[in-house]
Amino acid sequence: MSLADELLADFEELGDDGDDEAQDEQATAEENQMEMEMMMGGKLTIHQIAKLQSSGQLARILQEIEKYSGENRTDPVIGPVEQDPEYRLIVEANNLAAEIDNEVAIIHKYVIDEYSKRFPELQSLVVAPLEYIMTVKRLLNDLTVTKSELEDVLPPATIMVVSVTASTTQGKPLPADGVQCVEEACDMALELNEGKLTIYQYVEGRMSFIAPNITVLVGAPAAAKIMGVAGGLTALSKMPACNIMVLGAARRLLSGFSTTQVQPHTGILFYCEIVQGVPPDYRRKAARLVSAKCALAARVDSFHEASDGSMGLSFREDIEEKLAKLQEPAPPKQQKALPRPDDGVRKKRGGRRVRKMKERYATSDMRKQANRMSFGEINDDAYQEDMGVHTGNLGKGGTGRLRAPTTDKKTKVTMSKRLQREVHRQQQQGGRSSIRGAVSGTASSVAFTPLQGLEIVNPQAAETAAPSQSGKYFGGTGGFSRVKSGTS
């Protein structure tokens, strides 16, 4: 690049900066003029407040849209899509549609300020800006509402409420100039809305040609909006999914101009058809899925692949399948089948401790007899207070004596031989009494005999056994008691 070319480029930049400064100065002067008129008590017209319709941008874009709409374009896009003139028109038209929404909100505020003198209650009955403007256009000073006049604007229930409230309103009729200002504002808002619909219709028709996969995935309106906010298809393809999800998020609300509550961290994709079609609890999850697939679809469209939208359709089916899986109810709790009744006896823990516990809690013969019932017999109640409590077969048949529970010889705790000898020795040394041994407590040393009457006897005499005759000869202490001397 030569020195002359560099100088020319610098002069062009200076010229552009000068034009921008001139436009800023003009806008500042107009704002100052409006403030002065308001301070002087002058009344501003709708053309001084809303200037988008009178600007040449709206007329130029509508003319170019009409021009391209009549062409049936079939040649593919070659090179970067941002260089295509029709693509630049789509981005510019999409930005203009957002400006039209803001302009309609300003006009709606102006109409409320002017028409509240005639019908102040209408603002709370009809909230949507376009519906309010169209209702004011039909009513003006004549509040005798008929159903046929507003049936294409409001639902029947709202029409009935408006007609009843209009008959009892405290507003006063507007003067002729006031009616004219309100009517001009309504006409301007309706014309801007028609221009916005024309832009949307054109953008939706052309988005399938510029970005077919994104259009199939999120729809033409949402595709055009995210491309316009991102700055083009190439810039959108370079964005991560987390940034695409918040594109177009409203960071601040204009006081008095908005009637909807904006959720945080929700962009254009949050309000597309596929996300709004799921329950509210799953919409954030759906927005993350859509933004991830939208990033892939943008990269496919930027390289002009899958021009028939097949990749976008595949991404959409994948998202719908995941959302359907996400909304499925939890599987029911499975009932575990009972074990087979013919299962064998399982091994249980054994040992000395377990055997002693079984012996301690073993069922006695008395309990077994009490639990038994005879067939076809009426048992007597054991208690008068408790009906149905009986003793079973206890005391029926046999001797009627209560027997102690029998113990199993296998589980019976046995005494060692050493312990048996010790117990036997203690019994021999201490003697036999009513306390030790199994002697009854009625034993006495006085006995009755048929011959002598009373006789004193020794109860322990039986314990001391008489020495056997064999002890003399074969005992350890035995010997000869008498020695016969023999003759030599």
Measured at the CA of 145, the angle between CA 140 and CA 146, to 5 degrees, comes to 135
| Bridge partners for 453 per DSSP | 449
DSSP state at residue 342: T
Q: What is the CA radius of gyration of the chain?
A: 56
* Residue 432 CB contacts under 8 Å (≥ 6 apart), including other chains: 439, 459, 460, 463
CB 268 within 8 A of CB 224: no
φ and ψ at residue 423, rounded to 5 degrees: -65, -40
SS3 call for 146: coil
Summarised one tens digit per residue, pLDDT across range 154-187 is: 888 888 888 888 888 888 888 888 888 888 899 9
pLDDT above 50 (res 350): yes
pTM above threshold 0.75: no
> Which residues make Cβ contacts (< 8 Å) with residue 153, sequence separation at least 6?
131, 134, 135, 138
Give the pLDDT score at 384: 65
Residue 294: what pLDDT? 93
Name the pLDDT band for 258 (thresholds 50, 70, 90). very low
| Arithmetic mean of pLDDT, 290-298 | 93
Task: Quickly state the pLDDT bin for 39 (edges 50, 70, 90).
Answer: very low
CB 269 within 8 A of CB 285: no
**pLDDT confidence band for 439 (50 / 70 / 90):** low
Residue 254 has pLDDT above 70, yes or no: no
The half-sphere exposure of 55 on its side-chain side, counting CA atoms within 13 A, is 13
pLDDT score for 316: 93
Nearest to 92 by CA among 246, 240, 253, 203: 203
The band of 15, judged by pLDDT with boundaries at 50, 70 and 90, is: low
- DSSP state letter for 76: P
DSSP state of 460: G
- In this prediction, residue 314 carries a pLDDT of 93
pLDDT at 49: 84
The tokens describing 58, both together, are 């709206």
